[in-house]
Amino acid sequence: MPSQFFIPDPEGQTPNSEGYFGAFGGKFIPEALVAAVDEVAVEYDKAKHDPEFAKELDDLLVNYTGRPSALTEVPRFAEHAGGARVFLKREDLNHTGSHKINNVLGQALLTKRMGKTRVIAETGAGQHGVATATACALFGLECTIYMGEIDTQRQALNVARMRMLGAEVIAVKSGSRTLKDAINEAFRDWVANVDHTHYLFGTVAGPHPFPAMVRDFHRVIGVEARRQLLERAGRLPDAAVACVGGGSNAIGLFHAFIPDPDVRLIGCEPAGHGIETGEHAATLSAGEPGILHGSRSYVLQDDEGQITEPYSISAGLDYPGIGPEHSYLKDSGRGEYRAVTDDAAMQALRLLSRTEGIIPAIESAHALAGALEVGRELGRDGLIVVNLSGRGDKDMDTAARYFGLYDTDAEVAADADTDTAEIEGDAK
């Protein structure tokens, strides 16, 4: 029986054998890592064609993760989206609270097949780190997570979760002390320990085969959503909307819809304080093609190829790169990418919380803010599916400070009440 939940891209599709999606992708890695990266490609290819691998992964995805994830219609939220119908793909309900577990379980099984005993990973918001620490606990693998020092502060809850699960968490103090620097440090570790260590990369970036492999493990999101929408709404959506940092949840949702020309694929990038301020992480909106972390893709950089420091309120989107397949979708016109500010995302976070009783991650809130815009553009006949990639528990400290929800900060709380009035006024 074919796998229900591990549904890699059908043969003969992108990327090519060198790992290129059009002009983007490839394998820009130090010689020391060539053998290891090639080994991952060979083992993944074998696993992809091995029914035993699919069976084992399926079992985990159903009985451990809780797949399929629900598709929830959100009519009270949708009133603010021009009256379009809005459905949320509930990846936040997966075990560990985000879509990240889909990829992690796949790569953890691969780690075992390669006979490696140690896993390293980078994390921004901590969701990939928590998922990786979880899988390592489950499989008895040694686990080290690299996390930018700034992110360890703004996502302290996830640091505690990782340590509870037995992982070592290393706060990275170099560069911008966020996700980019965590990846640099993980690569340095990998070069030195590659004989027994797998780098469980958390997004659809990095050298080939990671962009294609990580996408394949997340492809289930869109496959399920497509089927669920056909059952529930009786048709395909007008738009599939997701947030993009590195781009894993977005490609997971988008990929099954690529052959459906009438489904718009809309990625929402973090505009931070606004693209015009320079304080953002909107790589596709404001970047140029370059090489970062092993592949060619859009990157935020200056005229001399130095990577510029990104900014977003969301640790998971605070990254100056993007997976190469998104660059390809952008340049081919199949994907649309728009930028969402911190403020728009935070307002959407609160709106979903108050209208539907679902607190989303700040990352996913960028997609929700995008969906509000898209819904208003589509009007009442519109049908939108949004990837709710993660839950917001980890962000409560950031949100509480933003909205002044702590008792000790009455003055800020008063401001936040004003904001609420503004949102309600705006939306109606």
To other proteins, the closest distance from the beta carbon of 110 in angstroms equals 19
CA distance 285 to 330: 10
* 3-class secondary structure, 338: strand
Do 346 and 362 meet the contact criterion of CB atoms below 8 Å apart?
A: yes
CA distances from 364 to 125, 132, 305, 331 (A): 12, 20, 30, 24
| Cβ proximity to other proteins, 27 vs 350, nearer residue | 27
Q: Could you give the strand order of the β-sheet that contains 197-199, starting from the edge strand earlier in sequence?
A: 168-172, 142-148, 118-123, 197-199
- Provide the sign of the torsion angle of the four alpha carbons 28, 32, 36, 38, taken in this order: positive
**Positions of E strands within 91-141:** 118-123
| Cβ proximity to other proteins, 35 vs 230, nearer residue | 35
| Cβ proximity to other proteins, 29 vs 121, nearer residue | 29
To other proteins, the closest distance from the beta carbon of 220 in angstroms equals 31
Question: What residues make contact with other proteins under the rule CB under 8 A?
Answer: 18, 26-36, 174-175, 180, 184, 187-188, 191-195, 288, 290-294, 299, 301, 303-308
| Cβ proximity to other proteins, 36 vs 60, nearer residue | 36
Pair of tokens at residue 310 = 């990104």
To other proteins, the closest distance from the beta carbon of 150 in angstroms equals 16
Among 3, 21, 5, 9, which residue's Cα sits nearest to residue 255?
9
**Catalytic amino acids?**
100, 122, 389
Residue type for position 323: G
To other proteins, the closest distance from the beta carbon of 175 in angstroms equals 7
| Cβ proximity to other proteins, 193 vs 353, nearer residue | 193
CA distance 149 to 24: 30
To other proteins, the closest distance from the beta carbon of 128 in angstroms equals 19
* 3-class secondary structure, 168: strand
To other proteins, the closest distance from the beta carbon of 190 in angstroms equals 10
To other proteins, the closest distance from the beta carbon of 22 in angstroms equals 16
Among 404, 394, 399, 395, which residue's Cα sits nearest to residue 346?
399
Give the helix/strand (H/E) hosting 217: helix 210-218
Give the single-character DSSP code of 182: H
In the beta sheet, which residues pair with residue 147?
123, 171
CA distance 304 to 132: 35
| Cβ proximity to other proteins, 83 vs 175, nearer residue | 175
| Cβ proximity to other proteins, 308 vs 355, nearer residue | 308
CA distance 158 to 93: 16
